[in-house]
Chain A
Amino acid sequence: MQKHKLKIKNRKFLTFCFLVIILTFLFCVFNLGKVHAQQVTLSISPPLLETVIKPGKSIMIAYKIENLGDPVILRTKILPFEPQGELGGIKIKDEFEGPVRFSLDNANLQLDQPFFLKSRSSQQILLRIRIPEGAPRGDYYYTLLAETDPPPTTEGIMSSRTRTTIGTPILITVTDTGNVDINGRIGFFDVLPSYQLSLFGHHLRIFDSGDKIPVVAIVENTGGNLIKPRGEIVLRGNFGEKAKYNILPQNILSRSQRMLTATPSATVDCQENNKSKYCQRPISLLISGFFIGLYTLSTTIYFGEGSPNIYASTSFIAFPIKLLIGLGIVVIVTFIIVKRLRDIEE
C-alpha cells in the first residue's frame, strides 16, 4: 500500500517536473529575439568642429562614436573636403592633402586601423590636430569619417553589400597673428515673383495679395577664411508697415557661396506638397501675409567686429489679382445674363 502511494507521489513529481521544463522551454522559445539582417546605427559627436590655430601648435579634440546597432568593425580616417553648391553641401576628396597633421592620442587606436565596437557601446576618439611650423596661413577643411567594414561575401548569393560611413566636418583656420581675411559680398538678393513684367527697362515683380513671398539671399565669400554672416532682412510697405527677419549665422567657406536662412519664416511641407511653387527651389525666407501696394525688401549683413556692413535691396508689387479676375468674370457673366434676360423680355 505504502509502495503504491510512493509510486503515485513519484508520478506526480515527474509530471510537475515535466510541466516546469516544458513551460520554461516555451518561455525561452517565445522570448527569443527576432532574427533580423545586420543593422548599423552609428552616432558621432560633436557634429562640427571649428578652430583657429597658430603654426607650430597642436590641439586635441575628443570625439565620441557610439554604436547603437549590431556589433561592427570600424575604422576612422580623415579626408579633405570642398564646399559643393550653395546650400552647404560637401564633396569629400578621395586622397588626403594639405599641411595639417592628424593622429590619435588613444593608446590602442590609430587612424585607418580597424577596431571592434560592440552593440550599445561607444569609443572615444582623441584626435590630435597639429599644424607644422611654416604651414601657409589659410583655411583647411577636413572630415573625420568612421566607416564600417562591409559584411563578408556569401558564395552563391548575389548581393550588394553596404558600407556605412558617418562623418563630421573639421574647419581649421591657420593664422600667425590672429588676423583673418574676411571678405564677402551679396551674390544674389531677390524675390521669386509669381509674375514678372518688363517696363521701360525696369523689371516689375508682381505677386497676388494672398501669395507667400519667397526671398533668396546668397552671400559669396571672396576672402581666404571662412565667414559667418549675421544681419537682417527688412520688409517695408508703402503704408509705413515694417517687418524684420533675422539671418541665421552659418559658415560660408573660403572662395564659396552659400544661401542664407532667415527667421521667422513661413513653412511649406514639401514632402506632402512637392509640386508647390515654393518647393521648386530652396529659398532663404518665405513671408506670409496679405500684401497690397509697393513693398521694399532690404538686407544688411556684417561679418563680425570691424567688418563693414554690406547692403542690398529689391522691391515688388502686390495686388489682389485673383480677386480682380474673379470679380471681372462675375461682372461679365452677370452682364451677359442680364442682357439675355432683357432680350427675352423684349
Chain B
Amino acid sequence: MRNSFGIFLVFFTCLACYLLNAVPLDAVNMQSPLYRIQFGNINIGADNLSSEGAKLSITMGQLAAEEFETNGYIIKAGFQYIHSIIPFTFSVSNTNINLGTLTPNMPSTDSTTLTVSFGGAGRYSVTAIEEHALQLQSGLYKIDDTICDGGGNTCYEGLAKPWTSNNAYGFGYNMSGDDVPSDFINATYFRPFADKSQGESPVVVMESDNVGKRRQATATFKVNVSPVQAAGTYQTVINFVATPSY
C-alpha cells in the first residue's frame, strides 16, 4: 500500500514537473463565432532557407499559385505573393532602465536595444522624447538634461558631444549600432532627450532609407549628479516611436 502511494507520488511529481515545463503549441484556428471554414486551403509548409550566396523562401499547399495576366489586369495568386508583405516590427529589449543608486560625481549608465524590421521598400524612423526631466514624484526637484562637457563640447537635442567629465552633471543618452545619427561618433558622445513638457519635438534616433531586417541599435542612458542634488527617487518616461515612411 505504502509502495503504491510512493510510486503514485513519484509519477505525479514527475508528470507535474514535465507539464509545467511543456512548451505551448500553436494551432490553426479555423472557427470564429460568426464563421466556420471547412476544408480550407492551408499553407502546409513554409520556410526561409539560405546557403552561402543564395536565399530561398518556400510555401506549399496553395492551389493554382501563379501570376495571371490579361488585358489590363494582373493577378498574383498564391501565398508567396502575400509572403512579401512583411509587417513593420519594433522591439525594445528593456523597458525599465535601472540607473541604480547614484553617487555624486560617479556616472551611472544602463542601456536598451532597439530593433526594427521592415520588409517594405522604404524608409523608417524611430524618434525619442522624454515626458519631462528626471524628477521626484512630487516634482519638487529634478536632474537637468545634460549639456555634456560644456564649452566647446556643449551638446543639445540635435547634436551629440563628448561627455567624459565626472563634474558635468545631468541626464542624457548615447546611440550606437545600425542607422543611428552620425554625430554619435563613439561611446563618449551624448545628447539630452527632447523634453515634451518644454514643448520640444521628438528627435530621430534611428532612420534608414534601406529595406531593413533586424536593424539594431543600443541606447545607453547616463546620469551624473552633483553632491548638492536632493536625495530621492527620480524618474521619467521616454517614448520611443517607430514609424515606416509613406
Residue in contact with B201 in the complex, picked from A37, A91, A164, A274, CB distance below 8 Å: A91
Contacts of B9 in A (CB 8 A): 17
- Looking at the complex, which one of B3, B14, B117, B242 makes contact with A20 (CB distance below 8 Å)? B14
Q: Are A37 and B94 in contact (CB under 8 A)?
A: yes
B92: Cβ under 8 A from any A Cβ: yes
Q: Mark B77-102, 1 if CB is under 8 A from A, else 0.
A: 00000000101111111111111111
B89 touches A43 (CB 8 A): yes
One digit per residue, 1 when the CB lies within 8 angstroms of any chain B CB and 0 when it does not, for chain A 144-181 equals: 01011011011111111111111111010000000000
CA gap between A158 and B123 in the complex, in Å: 35
Interface residues of A in 15-68 (CB under 8 A from B): 17, 20-21, 24-25, 27-28, 31, 37-48, 64, 66, 68
Stretch at the interface among A82-90, A204-212, A287-295, A309-317: A82-90
Give B193-245 interface residues, CB cut-off 8 Å to A.
Answer: 201-202, 204, 207, 209, 221, 223, 233-245
Q: How far is the CA of A136 from the CA of B123 in the complex (A)?
A: 30
Q: Does A108 contact B (CB under 8 A)?
A: no
- A282–B245 alpha-carbon span in the complex (Å): 16
**Is A213 at the interface (CB under 8 A from chain B)?**
no
> Is A39 in contact with B243, judged by CB distance below 8 angstroms?
no
In this complex, the interface size class of chain A, counting residues with CB under 8 Å from chain B, is 35 or more
B17 within 8 A of A: yes
Determine the residue in chain A with the shortest Cβ distance to B98.
A159
B122 proximal to A (CB < 8 A) = yes
Tell me whether A135 is interfacial, beta carbon within 8 Å.
no
Enumerate chain A residues within 8 angstroms of B92, measured Cβ to Cβ.
39-41, 162, 164
- A169 contacts which chain B residues (CB < 8 A)? 243-246
Min distance, Cβ A272 to any Cβ of chain B, angstroms: 11
The answer to whether A274 and B88 have CB atoms under 8 Å apart is no
CB 8 Å contact bits of A277-313 with B (1 = contact, 0 = none): 0000010000000000000000000000000000000
In the bound complex, what is the Cα–Cα distance between A168 and B89 (angstroms)? 11
**B144 at interface by CB-CB < 8 Å:** no
Interface centre among B20, B125, B130 (most CB of A within 10 A): B125
Which residues of A line the B interface, CB within 8 A? Answer: 10, 13-14, 17, 20-21, 24-25, 27-28, 31, 37-48, 64, 66, 68-69, 83, 87-92, 120, 141, 143, 145, 147-148, 150-151, 153-169, 171, 248, 250-251, 253, 261, 271, 274, 282
17 A–B contact pairs at CB < 8 A? A17-B6, A37-B94, A42-B90, A44-B87, A45-B85, A48-B122, A64-B87, A88-B246, A89-B125, A89-B204, A90-B125, A153-B137, A159-B96, A161-B236, A161-B237, A163-B239, A251-B246
